[in-house]
Structure 1
Amino acid sequence: MDYTKPLSDSPLSHGFDTFFGITGSLDMAPYTYIENDRLTALPTLTSTEGGRAGPTAPGFSALDVLPAITAKAEAYIAARAQAAKAGSPFFLYLPLNAPHTPVVPSGPWRRDHPLGHYAGFVEQVDDTVGRVLAALDRHGLAEQTLVIVTSDNGYAPYVGIVTGDDRRAGKGGVKALEAQGHRPSADYRGYKSELWEGGHRVPFLARWPGTVKPGTVCGGLLGLHDLFATAAELVGADYPESAAEDSVSFLPLLRGEAGRRTDLVMHSVNGRFAFREGAWKLVAWRGSGGFSDNQKRPDGTRVHDGLPDAQLYDLAADPAETRNLAAEQPERVRRLREALEKAVAAGRTTPGAPQTNDVPVVIDKTVP
């Protein structure tokens, strides 16, 4: 690979004016920064800065990445403040490397902690959010800025308290945290990768002075792909019917009104599906669809062997998904399954002409 050439597919290729960041999550090489569409330094060395061996730029340290991204965000806000106050708004998308693996808190957050370095990393993320909010305050932009803080998935169950604490290797992982009274999934079932709520239900915090009432809680249904339609509606931008075909604006929810989304397709790391309609949730598979499907009972059978082929939960009454109602409500299972199949066949979940899926989609995959 020729690292001296511009990136052929960077954020600039998708509408962003500027970009600063890394190649993906911090455990993905090459380990170097990217500014706009070029690497800031060539990865002429090899290291395990991200936890895996890969090309590395001289001087690159995983410990520095979160502080560097945070500083760039502060500088961007400062640079855009005057124009923003004059009526030219800005959009800042700030995806962090933390608290994803590798777990590398730095500075005052790298210390002994009862819950290990992961807890320090989470605290450092909190500091980053605070610095961004402080930058908005400092430049007089807080009252006119919508800030959203969210996450892409539930807790990674292989991350525990100490370095190398990996339940896949029999070293505890999330169970070590839970034994200390810290439950990353709260009372929800499952973790990252899985169709259960612990895998998909994530924090979603919004601050918008004058619109979002402080201290309120919203029970509306939304997915992170709804950010596209919401941002477009906020600025009055049109986009083709063939774009963002699963995105529904949640602007009404921010304004305290009824939401527009009534159902939601969910997907797991193993390619299994679930479908939400209001508080009802159909899991079109007998297991989690994620990491726990690989676990086995003492007799060698898989944990989901012999279980019903479908799971139906009433999240209003049973948010922890402890009671499978599929056998009691076969008609609801049939109707939700048909809605899922219709969405897959149409290649979209919003009104409009059917779209072709990027790859053939199979709901009931062959069990390996």
Structure 2
Amino acid sequence: MLPCSLAILLFALSGTLAQDCPAQQRPPQQEPAEGLPNIVIVYADDLGYGDLSIYNPQAAYQTPRLDQMASEGVRFLDAHSPSTICSPSRYGLFSGQLVCRTGRRSTAFEGPGGPSYLAPGQLTLAQMLKRVGYRTGVFGKWHLGLTWYDKEGKRLGGGFENALLIDYQKSTPLEDGPNHRGFDESFVTPNCPTTDPLYVYLENGMVREPASQRHRRENLPNPGGKWRWDNDEGWMAPNYRFVDADLLFYDRTALFIRDHRERFSDQPFFAVLSTQISHAPVLPAEEFRGVTGAGPRGDFVRELDTLVGRLLDLLDELQIDRETLVVFNSDNGPETVHTDWMREDHEHDASGGFRGMKRDGWEGGHRVPLIVRWPGRIPAGRVTRQLANTTDLFATVASIVGYPLSDDDAVDSYDLLPAMLGTRSDDQPIRPYMLTQSFRGEFQLRQGPWKYLDHPGSGGNNYDRGMLKKYALPETAPGATGQLFHLGRDAGETQNLFFAEADKRKEMQALLKRLVGSEGRTAPRDRHPIGINHLQQGETP
């Protein structure tokens, strides 16, 4: 794995290198182990640490089904997204590593933007599971970048108007869509489903209907007179659905699971439900409007909660509840405008008391809910303070299914299975450190209770003006080029110890330089999976 500081120099060659080299280092196709669980990941969008009532007793609404899921599984209190914006975090989920490893800048794709962050030849979570016999599907928001061509065969860049230049015959099947990255079935949108054009549906690498109509936001409802905020007027396909986007994505997920049980019952399945909720614009489906008394966003989150409940009910109906691992996670902290409005209108803190929000390197930008449920395997009602990252889902799943990861795979992924099972106590850290990246790609480093931000300020939002100005805190270390906090004593990141704890700061700066540069990884080498065959019902390894 190239260090982040060198990877960008070789990015132009990455397609060739990725196709030729990593495949030769992969383990051969394995025989499926007996009793492998089905795996479902529900990946929420812009859902903050304080947006679920199980995490936030002062929440302005209740999330009963997710609270129930937590009571039946394990809840992580110190879990983080790899980035504070959408696309790089999705890369972290499917690759097990930070976006800096690609050598590309941190961005959220718009229009026909791409190519995919997932390079050819890079092992993805779905590809790994296919190797051990899984059938795989992804439904909802993709947003990892895609390659589109015009009529001359030239690759198009981002930008809303470029959507009109797409030659769909030349572009499809999409060469770097989900079906070329390990998924057998896919029904996704290229970007944020209701925010960023191109507004089309991609089904198994094909565009169902090209974008031929101009979307006008005035055609959508505007709950509360303001919650339609951040709905861009780009190009869309006929019959594209905005208001009930997540009902559609859930229905496609449920269809995949039902079809799998009817036609492929001898295989385990892997399904990802990648939701729009609670990204802008806030457009709860009709059946959820007004149900919480906490405004449109409260209703929106209740919609997500209900869909998770329907998913759990489906697993129970199909009698596969106890053989299915379900993960709930979010891609970053809550949107700035949403956070402010919910605080002002409903005394609800989507950041859960932490400083910052989406795009920021402070905790509110990347500390997120993480709940995992596997009846009969994961003890019910577990709560852990083990440091965790979305990237860790890769190595954890590999550990469950017995897949031996090479040192070149998922280089920022740790096996959290012992934390889920309770076989490793919180005072025995699984992760000695963790990296995250803010909106501009700048780094934050955790080491125990210590947190170093390799930048001044938020790393994302501007707190000098506008609605965020009231949330600005005094600078306690004027002139510092970075920030150092002790979260055990200062969870709100209020006292910058950059100068006061110079030795610790220098130690963490040196560690950051090594992890980003010469080591090019944060995960340990020579990882060994536990394997389902060593994890019998009612037993722990």
Structure 1 position 326 matched with structure 2 position 506? no
Report the CA distance between 1:309 and its aligned residue: 2.3
CA–CA separation in structure 1 for the residues paired with 2:474 and 2:494: 15
Residue from 122, 129, 134 that aligns with 2:308: 129
Q: How many residues align?
A: 336
CA distance in 1, matches of 2:401, 2:167: 39
| Residue aligning to 2:536 | none
Q: Give the Cα separation in 2 of the matches to 1:327 and 1:42.
A: 56
Matched, 1:102 2:270: no
**Which shows bigger deviation, 306-315 or 148-157?**
306-315
Alpha-carbon contact 1:20-1:36 (below 8 Å) kept: yes
Q: Residues 3-59 of structure 1, C-alpha deviation per residue, up to 9 Å, x if partnerless? A: 243212101111111101211212122212111101112222111468212221111
Sort the Cα spacing of 1:112 and 1:214 in 2 relative to 1 into closer, same or farther, 3 A.
closer
- 1:91 aligned to 270, 289, 303, which one? 270
- Check the 8 A contact 1:63/1:104 in 2, yes or no: yes
Which of 250, 260, 265 is the aligned partner of 1:80? 260
Which letter does structure 2 place at the counterpart of 1:181? E
Cα distance in 2 for residues equivalent to 1:83 and 1:251: 30
Give CA deviations for 1:231-261 in whole Å, capped at 9, x if unaligned. 2222122344222111112111111133522
Aligned match of 1:220: 386
- Give the secondary-structure state (helix, strand or coil) at the position aligned to 2:297: helix
Q: CA RMSD in A?
A: 2.5
Give the gaps of 5 or more residues in structure 1: 160-173, 354-368
Question: Which residue does the alignment assign to 1:152?
Answer: 331
Are 2:191 and 2:198, in contact at CA under 8 Å, matched by a contact in 1? no
Deviation at 1:186, TM superposition (A): 1.5
Q: Which amino acid aligns with 2:342?
A: L
Say whether residues 1:176 and 2:328 are aligned partners: no
Shift of 1:227: 1.3
Offset at 1:294?
Answer: 5.7
On the 8 A contact 2:190/2:202 being kept in 1, the answer is yes
Distance 1:307 1:25 in 2: 38
Asked whether the 8 Å contact 2:432–2:448 carries over to 1, the reply is yes
Instruction: Find 1:271's aligned residue among 435, 441, 444.
Output: 441
Percentage of pairs with the same residue: 31
Q: C-alpha distance in 1, partners of 2:264/2:494? A: 49
SS across alignment from 1:348: coil
8 Å contact kept, 1:295–1:303: no
Alpha-carbon shift at residue 83 of structure 1 (Å): 7.0
Q: Is the 8 A contact 2:328 2:372 kept in 1?
A: yes
**1:56-112, Cα deviation, whole Å (9 max, x unpaired):** 1111120132111101111122122357764x2111111111111121111211348
Higher relative contact order (CA 8 A, sep 6+): 2
Specify the SS of the correspondent of 1:21.
strand
Determine the C-alpha separation between the residues in 1 that align with 2:190 and 2:356. Answer: 29
> In terms of mean alpha carbon deviation, does 235-244 or 3-12 score higher?
235-244
The match for 1:37 among 196, 199, 205 is: 205
Aligned to 2:412: 246
Q: C-alpha displacement at 1:351, in angstroms?
A: 4.2
Counterpart selection for 1:57 from 221, 226, 237: 237
Residue of structure 1 in register with 2:167 after alignment:
2
Tell me, which stretches of 5 or more residues in structure 2 are unaligned?
A: 1-165, 218-229, 527-541
Task: Measure the CA separation in 2 of the matches of 1:150 and 1:228.
Answer: 13
**Do the aligned residues in 2 keep the contact of 1:22 with 1:34 (CA within 8 Å)?**
yes
Provide the C-alpha distance between the structure 1 equivalents of 2:492 and 2:261, rounded to a whole number of angstroms: 44
* TM-score of the aligned structures, taking structure 2 as reference length: 0.58
Q: How many angstroms does 1:352 deviate by?
A: 5.3
Contact 1:66/1:98 (8 A) holds in 2: yes
Contact 2:414–2:524 at 8 Å: present in 1 too? no
Secondary structure of 1:178's aligned partner: helix
Alignment of 1:22 onto 2:185: no
Code of the aligned partner of 2:213? L
Of 326, 332, 356, which residue of structure 2 is paired with 1:190? 356
Deviates more, 1:102-111 or 1:184-193: 102-111
C-alpha distance in structure 1 between counterparts of 2:270 and 2:485, whole Å: 38
* Per-residue Cα deviation, 1:269-288 (whole angstroms, up to 9, x for no partner): 02321100112111122211
Equivalent residue letter for 2:328 = V
